[in-house]
Chain A
């Protein structure tokens, strides 16, 4: 393995790892606030229990997100020193603003997580708001730096007449930024919503069907659905922008080897860069031209427009794009299914949680959001190759001359594997438990967080007695 490949893989793994936690750091505070808000409004301690459990999850994932993000900041300089020498000043302002967002987030998260008894209930809830806002802000800011790599506005000025370079205009006047920021920030909410929903659907299959879990599922699906519906819409805007700004990337995404008028949309398939053919694809004539330019006869530039050494990896880009779109479509369908069942069962006394087919579907759909998100970043980043800054600097020119990249790549991959294994183990142990001292109102399922009696006796409870499996294990 050469240093360049090792460096690219180390970067990709670090970013892919960070994104899982960054997504949860955006989505979980929203869910926490919803649950605690309902507690304040209705006084039902079950919602407090929910907010508290979600806060525990947030505490763990946030810490991992923070340390993996720190690793990224170092790695930019360690792996790509030449890149940072040029791009540091250009993208630095975005990172600086992101830094202030991190501060706000870390401070208020500290207050939120540890302030249950030190702040009044309302002040506590209010302390959660800056957490949600600043994590969204940090996402929007950091994407500005990536957008500049895709579309390096004013880079000529930076290279030739640096004293006249305007960083604010270059970063935030970049038309790529709003498009990417909206699509990728929404993606994190979609990913969180579906992951959390899957946890409660899984619990429902094992017999945990109390009202608290029903509302937990509903909140997660509400967040997931709103975001999932917006994904194809904002994704379409992304695609149109890419068509205009990075035609080579679009060609790779769509496996469009030849420039063509009335280009078809290829669904699935395995592109072969040697022969320029796409095996096993379903083609919809004229559709790509229409999607990219709003005209079924429009000319779509193919990979033939640039020399072969400027092609990104076509199979990876194409397949990753297919994965994202398929996952996105499935997420919309699963959302529709859930709300259809919930609407059908409203007031009828039967429980959404008892619909086993739906619950299985939700469990299966749980990873879709994060899969789509990772795949989308693969499209964006692999599709940008061979450039690290499009049209300006190649990835190969940017890589560090220091020896030992293969070693650090292997070591960090192992580190992330160990962290992931521990995390999975730990998150499985976080369970719901009643909040001591807050008495539950009388009524079915009141505040105990235990399985609803009939279903519980039927299944699941026996296995959980060990306390290490399922949602209710642990303390």
Chain B
């Protein structure tokens, strides 16, 4: 629906991006934690897993709600896009769902290795595997909507070129990049929240993931102009400085990890992810699904957009102080953050 005033659509789209950003830097790190759970090695493997569980325990469900919020905003404000995505990404989204369900269930089902019994052992490995596959699929989805492989006819008929949209090297690499970035975020956060040998473990992991991000980005850059020409054109035209900033932040964050300034590294890592995502958004603008569905032709009627716009600040009035309380109580540079995993028991 094209209306005279493009403002409401634009603002809702920005709010949607903000929700996605929050999900990436909070929920993304929870996925990254799962990756490190899967890859836990060496004499301190169990201690690493416990640190991960401790860090995620109090916050992962709140972090997860950002995804739901983004989803609801998408179908409320851009119903045509939601409908088309549901058809085009029927299989990948079902896989994402299975991943989300298994990851969440596994997190509460499993138990520390020492006390795990029966099915709990199996669930322990499900947790890491689902945490790795899900962000891969989510990253590939972002690539798919930019690729031009999903076409939506005027009557709403959706055709998907699966090879182009979904199995292209571009999509697969973006998926891998998402996993590496989230693993990097998680390792940096965990380095802030641990001490001693454990902190060194996560520092090394952060550096490893950082290198993986750099390599993947280096492979992706030459691919982008051919596979996602539109995205590439716009990013290089409008967003050149953004890409440069992102690369700079990545280097800065890596250097800070190297020098063990973990708190600062955390800030830089978050900024890096934010810049990358918004660079993508800027390149994508105004398309939701390139090249047929835009923020403007998919938008819901104005009164609904206005409702979403008014509800958001009012909701944030409750949300922000509550989130602040949650993170103030459990996060911060505190080696003993949270309770021991696997037991929610109060202590004297």
Q: Interface on A for B, CB 8 Å cutoff?
A: 48, 52, 55-56, 59-60, 62-64, 66-71, 73-79, 81-82, 84-86, 88-90, 92-93, 95-100, 102-104, 106-111, 113-119, 130, 158, 162-168, 400-404, 408, 411-412, 415, 419, 421-423, 425-426, 435-438, 475
Contacts and interface: CB of A to CB of B under 8 A. Distances in A.
B31 interface: no
Contacts of A93: 76, 304, 307-308, 311
B137 to A, nearest CB: 12
B192 to A, nearest CB: 18
Contact of B109 (A77, A86, A426): A426
B276 interface: no
Nearest to A67: B104
A324 B211 CA distance: 60
Interface stretch (B44-52, B95-103, B163-171, B243-251): B95-103
B93 A74 contact: yes
B64 interface: yes
Given A95-B72, A113-B344, A100 B315 contact: yes
A66 B303 contact: no
Contacts, number: 245
Interface stretch (B182-190, B201-209, B317-325): B317-325
B347 A436 contact: yes
Contacts of B104: 63-64, 66-67, 70
Contacts of A164: 303
B318 to A, nearest CB: 6
B200 interface: no
Interface residues of B, number: 75
Given A60-B109, A113-B57, A426-B109, 13 more contacts: A62-B61, A67-B100, A71-B101, A96-B72, A103-B323, A107-B322, A110-B58, A111-B326, A115-B330, A163-B3, A412-B94, A422-B109, A435-B346
Given A97-B311, A411-B98, A116 B68 contact: no
B241 interface: no
B346 A475 contact: no
B344 A92 contact: no
A106 to B, nearest CB: 4
A76 B345 CA distance: 38
Contact of B82 (A77, A115, A421, A425): A77
A89 B304 contact: yes
B348 interface: yes
Contact of A95 (B62, B76, B157, B158): B76
Given A48-B346, A77-B85, A402-B87, A89 B300 contact: yes
A86 B347 contact: no
Nearest to A73: B71
B91 A99 contact: no
